[in-house]
Structure 1
Amino acid sequence: MFQDSPIYDRLVAERGDVPAGVREEADRLRREVEAVMLPLRSPRAPYAALPPPAAPPSQWQRVHPLPGP
C-alpha cells in the first residue's frame, strides 16, 4: 500500500514495520484461540454430553422472604 513512499520507508527504518508486526501478532492470537476453542467444537468434548441448561421460569418468583417490619 505505502511501500513506494519514501516517508513510509523512513518510518519502517526508524520504527520497524508496525502493520506487519500487528498482522503477525493477530495471526498468532487467532491460532492460539482456535487451539483453545477446538476441543469445545469437538463432539467428543467432555461437556458435549451434558444436557443444555434449564430455561428460566416463565414467571417471576420470590426466592427469599422479604425482611421483617
Structure 2
Amino acid sequence: MFQDSPIYDRLVAERGDVPTQARREAERVSRELEYAMRSLQSFQAAPSPDHRRGHAGAGWQRTALLPGSLPA
C-alpha cells in the first residue's frame, strides 16, 4: 500500500507498523470469536417441538428508542 513512500517508512520506524499490528490483532480476535461461537453452538440443545411452533409476536423483540429517551 504505502510501502514505497518515505513518510510511511518514517512512521513505521517511529511508531511501528501499526496497520500490520492491527491486522494481526483483528485476525487473532476473529479466530477466538470463531472458536467461542463453535463451542457455544455445540453446547446448545435442540429446541423442543413445543418451542418451534410458536406464534406471531412470540419471543423477545427490540424496539427503537429516540436519542435521549429512556424506556418506560
Question: What is the Cα deviation at residue 50 of structure 1?
Answer: 2.8
Structure 2 unpaired stretches of 5+? 60-72
Give me the whole-angstrom Cα distance separating, in 1, the residues matched to 2:19 and 2:6: 16
Q: Which residue of 1 aligns with 2:31?
A: 31
Larger radius of gyration: 1
For normalisation by structure 1, the TM-score amounts to: 0.65
Q: Once the two structures are superposed, what CA deviation does each residue of 1:9-67 show, in whole Å capped at 9, x if it has no partner?
A: 000000000000000000000000001001344xxx3423233464428xxxxxxxxxx
Greater RCO structure (CA 8 Å; 6+ sep): 1
The count of aligned residue pairs is: 54
Q: Which residue of 1 aligns with 2:46?
A: 49
Q: Percent identity?
A: 56
> Higher helix fraction: Structure 1 or Structure 2?
2
Please, which moves more after superposition, 30-39 or 48-57? 48-57
- Normalization by structure 2: what TM-score? 0.62
CA RMSD of aligned residues (A): 2.2
